């Protein structure tokens, strides 16, 4: 393979290849796209992978790679997609990844990463997809995340140890489609600013410590009524209290398919306005 000097695209995904990262690939300097997903490759990701300086796409997901993410990957300045999910990678996320100014998709979920997301990554203004789910990350999100990541479409943080409040600035990420913060330690109110997200269709905030104790805490329900594309609103297992507001019936009447508010501390009557949600496939209000 090392003789394929003019090769630009190499797709070897979905096979049963074993062994370590194929070192012969590192000699193909013209390579722009390298996809080794869904094999049984193991061992560390070689630091000199960065010698593939023309790469725009590197997918190594769903293998058995171990060790740390090489900080040298931050030198691959043309990289637009880095997908390392579902391996056995550990240690911290290198701050050098925040130097990849063309990055559109950064997917690191399903590993054993710890620490926090480096501040540099929150300054990647071209980033559209950030997935660090199912790791051991712990931090509070920066308050200005929605302003520094204006092109964000998908933000998946589920099954970590994030804490603090959900930043109101996420309402500024105007093309946001999906937020999944399930199984973390977020506190405070669900920000009403999420109602500014015209294209939002998936909002999953289950298994946190989010609160709604009064009318102010429930304001987000009224605000989300402006999200006309919303299909999934999943808020089970939080600390939402009191009566469900009548404005629940304004939640994108025809598009909302899944509404979960179970395992909270709801009281009072179920609003008749829920009958307006004619597109519902699933309604969960259990204790």
Check whether 96 has a pLDDT greater than 80. yes
106 part of a folded domain = no
My answer on whether 185 and 82 are in the same domain is no
**How far is residue 170's CA from residue 209's CA, in Å, rounded to a whole number?**
19
In a domain, residue 252? The reply is yes
pLDDT of residue 2: 60
Are residues 269 and 153 part of one domain? yes
pLDDT above 90 (res 287): no
Same structural domain for residues 165 and 79? Answer: no
Structure tokens at 169: 């600035």
- Cβ atoms within 10 Å of 5's Cβ, excluding its own: 10
- Report the residue count for the chain: 287
In sequence order, what DSSP letters do the residues of 167-219 get, joined into one string? PGGGGG-TT--EEE--SSEEEEPPPGGGGG-TT--EEE--SSEEEE-STTTTH
Distances (CA, A) of 211 to 64, 88, 129, 166, 224: 39, 35, 28, 11, 16
* Residue 252: per-residue pLDDT: 77
Residue 41, beta-bridge partner list: 19
Q: What CATH number corresponds to the domain at position 273?
A: 3.80.10.10
Torsion angles phi and psi, residue 141, rounded to 5: -70, 145
- Per residue in 219-276, pLDDT (tens digit) is 999 999 999 999 999 999 999 999 999 999 999 777 999 999 999 999 999 999 999 9
Give the chain's mean pLDDT.
97
Domain count, the chain: 2
Q: 245: closest CA among 204, 264, 273, 226?
A: 273
Residues 162 and 265 occupy one common structural domain: yes
Pick the last residue of a domain from 116, 151, 171: 116
Binning pLDDT at 50, 70 and 90, where does residue 4 land? confident
> 5: pLDDT confidence band, cut at 50, 70 and 90?
confident
pLDDT digits (tens, 9 = 90+) for 174-228: 999 999 999 999 999 999 999 999 999 999 999 999 999 998 999 999 999 999 9
Q: Which of 82, 116, 150 is the last residue of a domain?
A: 116
End-to-end C-alpha distance for the chain, whole angstroms? 59
Using a cut of 0.75, tell me whether the model's pTM lies above it: yes
Query: Residue 57's beta-bridge partner residues?
Result: 33, 81
Nearest CA to 180 out of 201, 198, 209, 196 is that of: 201
* In a shared domain, residues 72 and 148: no
Same domain, 77 and 189: no
* CB burial readout 119-137, b (16+ within 10 A) else e: ebbbebeebbbbbbbbbeb
Containing domain of residue 284, as a range? 138-287
The pLDDT of residue 189: 98
Using an 8 Å Cβ cutoff, are 4 and 27 in contact? Answer: no
**Coil, helix or strand at residue 51:** helix
Q: Is the pLDDT reported for residue 1 higher than 70?
A: no
Q: In the structure encoding, which two tokens stand for residue 232, read together?
A: 């999934």
Nearest alpha-carbon partner for 210 in 186, 177, 244:
186
């Amino acid at each position: 393979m090392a003789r394929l000097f003019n090769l630009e695209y190499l797709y070897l995904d979905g096979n049963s290849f074993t062994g370590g990262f194929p070192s012969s690939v590192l000699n193909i300097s013209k390579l722009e796209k390298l996809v080794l997903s869904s094999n049984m490759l193991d061992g560390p990701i070689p630091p000199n992978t960065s010698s593939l300086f023309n790469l725009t796409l590197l997918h190594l997901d769903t293998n058995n790679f171990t060790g740390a993410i090489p900080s040298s990957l931050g030198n691959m300045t043309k990289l637009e997609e880095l997908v390392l999910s579902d391996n056995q990678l550990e240690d911290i996320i290198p701050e050098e990844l925040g130097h990849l100014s063309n990055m559109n998709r950064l997917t690191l979920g399903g590993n054993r990463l710890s620490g926090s997301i480096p501040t540099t990554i929150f300054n990647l203004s071209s980033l559209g997809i950030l997935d660090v789910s199912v790791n051991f990350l712990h931090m509070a999100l920066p308050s200005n995340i929605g302003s520094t990541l204006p092109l964000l479409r998908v933000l998946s943080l589920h099954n970590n140890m994030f804490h603090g409040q959900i930043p109101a600035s996420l309402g500024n990420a105007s093309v946001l489609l999906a937020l999944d913060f399930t199984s973390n330690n977020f506190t405070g109110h669900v920000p009403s600013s999420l109602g500014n997200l015209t294209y939002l269709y998936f909002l999953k905030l289950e298994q946190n410590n989010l609160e709604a104790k009064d009318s102010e805490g429930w304001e987000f329900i009224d605000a989300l009524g402006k999200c006309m594309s919303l299909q999934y609103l999943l808020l089970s297992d939080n600390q939402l209290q009191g009566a469900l507001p009548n404005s629940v019936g304004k939640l994108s009447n025809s598009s909302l398919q899944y509404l979960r508010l179970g395992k909270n501390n709801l009281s009072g009557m179920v609003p008749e306005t829920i009958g307006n949600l004619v597109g519902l496939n699933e309604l969960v209000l259990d204790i």
